[in-house]
A and B are shown apart, each in its own frame.
Chain A
Amino acid sequence: MSKYKPLRSRGAQFSVLIEKRAVWITLILFIVCLAAMIVSTGAGSQFITPLNVIKTLLGKGEPTYEVIIMKLRLPRIIIAVLVGSSLAVAGAVLQSIIRNPLASPDVAGITEGASLGAVLFIFLFGGTVPIHWMPLTSITGAFLITGLLYILAWKKGVDPLRLVLIGIGISAAIKSISYMLVISGPLQLAQRSLTFMTGSIYGTSWDKDVLTLLPWVAVLLPLTWLQTRNVNIQALGDEVASSAGAHVQKHRLLLLALSVALAGAAVAIGGAIGFIGLMAPHMARKLVGSSFGSVLPVSALLGAIILLLADLAARTAFLPNDVPAGVLTAAIGAPFFMYLLYRNRNRY
């Protein structure tokens, strides 16, 4: 038996090479992710043993646990998984199409745009319009900013480095505009918005958050995976890709749109949680190589695990304070970014 097994649709619109090693790694990570979910569900001001967590999830636990787990903790865990994996996949797509290991939704200003959209939503419609509409405003914000960025960075084509530099400048400005909104509003909204800008999945609930985010992720993630062939060919560089018959610019735009939508939806619920879109794809490529068919599931799982652990640490290590998870991801992510910069020190 060979190491690879191809999976193709008729006419090869969709095509993935499935690597055995990658399948195993995906399975292992899936189990790790499940374990992290269970441990994380049990941890908190009231500790519940993993066994009891499993019992409760299967419907055979004690009623006191059932309230804590089903009502309070499980939504947060699910959100961590959804947000973490969306951000990670958004980053994986972005890194492939920009062909720059340092690209990520937060560096490129996508996260900032989304969070400005969401903060605007909180201030303009807070309380009057159902929260289910929030992903729409944050995705719109993300699209507008990305569009602006693309236009500003365009000079006979988009040079990735120029895109990143301009992204840094734009996100600084957006950040201060968001700050201004936060300051000018009432104090209660201010605290909520600031938590949002840091990125936190505190106090999430089933109907408000999980049901809002789930449809987006459930549609966008498989859609992105179906684009595997296009992502892989983008990574070869414009010349090779177009001589292989790919519509490079068209695909790049579509992929960018997918990435922005994923990041925007995740930010709408989790806030501007940084650096996951940077870290997870890197780790994934280290584990399974650079074929996007395996990078996507692996980075999604890694993103979920990172956010689960960051949130676990953020809410248990500083009791009674509930630190926003975004603080922890930044605390791990920024040194990671510097390490990457150091690794690539001879490239720039």
Chain B
Amino acid sequence: MRVVYLFTLLGALGAIMIASIAFGVTDIPLGTVWESLTQFNGSNEHLVIRTTRIPRALIAASVGACLAVAGAVMQVMTRNPIASPSTLGVNSGAAFFIMLASVWLGVSGMNAFTWVALIGAAISGGIVFLLGSVGRDGMSPVKITLAGASMSAFFASLTQGLMLTDGKMFDQILVWLVGSVAGREMAQLQAVWPYMLAGMIISLLLSRHLNVLAMGDDVAQGLGQSTAYIKLFGALAVILLAGASVAVAGPIAFVGIIIPHIVRYFIGTDFRWILPYCAVLGAILLVAADLGSRYIAMPKEVPVGVMTAVIGVPFFVYIARKGRRTS
């Protein structure tokens, strides 16, 4: 049954991506969308579809998938229900390093940005992870969340400072900083997809081990798992997924919290199924949020990062209220 549902969801993803390509400030009939792919004639509509709409839908789908999977992996690694690339400071670290590299070091180009984002994600995530796991009782959800919040505040402030003192491209950077998939080009996706794919493959290969890890470090070690290696590879996957996403779409919040919880509610605790479902549902969520964001303040667009934040907060509050304090 799980296979059937997964394919149904994949179908839904396809449908919503087509909707995302067809609808927007100018609605384009589906026939024209099809024609632009099969018989490209260089007309305005065809150009819009090929250069903005299709890249946008693809980027939204892949970023959503990556963030959701990263969130799921982080939640099991930290045993923290509200862990996600955004709450644990990984996204804002990546964003700050990109800003720093472009303003001070004059780095440009998508490839360089991706590397910088990966490094930023690794540094910020590493500090949070370390701070969250010091102390007698080891990693506790509260400690790691607080560490993440302070790292986020730290990097966000520095990023804003850089932005205000530099001033160039102020408005573009601002949109990027909230998280947006608008106005992206195919080349940007092409630069990051190898990293995204690598992150996905590592996560999927880990899924069996994550099942064991979810029972707790002690149990996992007792069953003969070398938890340190599993966590190391898990961290690598998270950094690849989150860093690459930030490089192309900016720090989009809350996808990594919402989706894993929904998936676990319906699918249960088997990570071999959780991860693929997270990927598909994450993609659906972000494409849908992006589509919705075009209609809220027509003809202007609301950055999709704002949409996910607004959808995500009720979830966050619900989880924080429900969560028992465990250390």
Question: For residues 89 through 142 of chain B, which have their beta carbon under 8 Å from a beta carbon of chain A?
Answer: 127, 131, 134-137, 140, 142
Of B137, B158, B300, B310, which contacts A327 at CB under 8 A? B158
Judge whether B313 and A172 touch: CB under 8 Å. yes
Residue B306 interfacial (CB < 8 Å)? yes
Nearest CB of B to A81, in Å: 22
A170 and chain B: residue at smallest CB distance: B313
Known: A173-B313, A179-B174, A345-B136. A195 touches B164 (CB 8 A): yes
* Distance of A47 Cα from B131 Cα, bound (Å): 42
- List residues of chain A with CB within 8 A of the CB of B158: 327, 330-331
Residue A318 interfacial (CB < 8 Å)? yes
* Distance of A331 Cα from B160 Cα, bound (Å): 12
Q: Which of B148-156, B187-195, B218-226 lies at the interface?
A: B148-156
Of A107, A164, A190, which contacts B170 at CB under 8 A? A190
Of B137, B147, B164, B302, which contacts A341 at CB under 8 A? B147
Residue A128 interfacial (CB < 8 Å)? no
Judge whether A330 and B154 touch: CB under 8 Å. yes
Residue B10 interfacial (CB < 8 Å)? no
Of B153, B175, B305, B325, which contacts A106 at CB under 8 A? B153
- List residues of chain A with CB within 8 A of the CB of B4: none
- List residues of chain A with CB within 8 A of the CB of B140: 348
Judge whether A176 and B305 touch: CB under 8 Å. yes
* Distance of A11 Cα from B150 Cα, bound (Å): 44
Q: Which of A35-43, A83-91, A180-188, A288-296 lies at the interface?
A: A180-188
Judge whether A155 and B177 touch: CB under 8 Å. no
Question: For residues 120 through 169 of chain A, which have their beta carbon under 8 Å from a beta carbon of chain B?
Answer: 152-153, 155, 161-162, 164-166, 168-169
Residue B17 interfacial (CB < 8 Å)? no
Judge whether B160 and A172 touch: CB under 8 Å. no
Of B154, B177, B312, which contacts A173 at CB under 8 A? B312
Residue A13 interfacial (CB < 8 Å)? no
- List residues of chain B with CB within 8 A of the CB of A179: 174, 177-178, 303, 305-306
Residue B228 interfacial (CB < 8 Å)? no
* Distance of A1 Cα from B151 Cα, bound (Å): 49
Question: For residues 144 through 180 of chain B, which have their beta carbon under 8 Å from a beta carbon of chain A?
Answer: 145-147, 149-154, 156-158, 160-161, 163-165, 167, 170-171, 174-175, 177-178
Q: Can you list 15 residue pairs at the A/B interface with Cβ under 8 Å?
A: A162-B320, A165-B82, A166-B321, A170-B313, A172-B87, A172-B316, A183-B171, A184-B300, A198-B160, A321-B165, A330-B158, A341-B146, A342-B131, A345-B136, A348-B146
Q: A194-B174, A345-B136 are in contact. List 15 more A-B contacts (CB 8 A).
A: A161-B325, A165-B82, A166-B316, A168-B146, A169-B316, A170-B317, A180-B302, A190-B174, A191-B164, A198-B157, A198-B164, A330-B157, A334-B151, A338-B131, A348-B143
Residues of A within 8 A of B (CB): 102, 106-107, 152-153, 155, 161-162, 164-166, 168-170, 172-173, 175-177, 179-180, 182-184, 187, 190-191, 194-195, 197-198, 274-275, 318, 321-324, 326-327, 330-331, 333-335, 337-338, 341-342, 345-346, 348
For the complex of A and B, 10 pairs with smallest distance between CB atoms: A345-B135, A327-B161, A334-B154, A330-B157, A169-B316, A176-B309, A173-B313, A321-B165, A337-B150, A198-B160
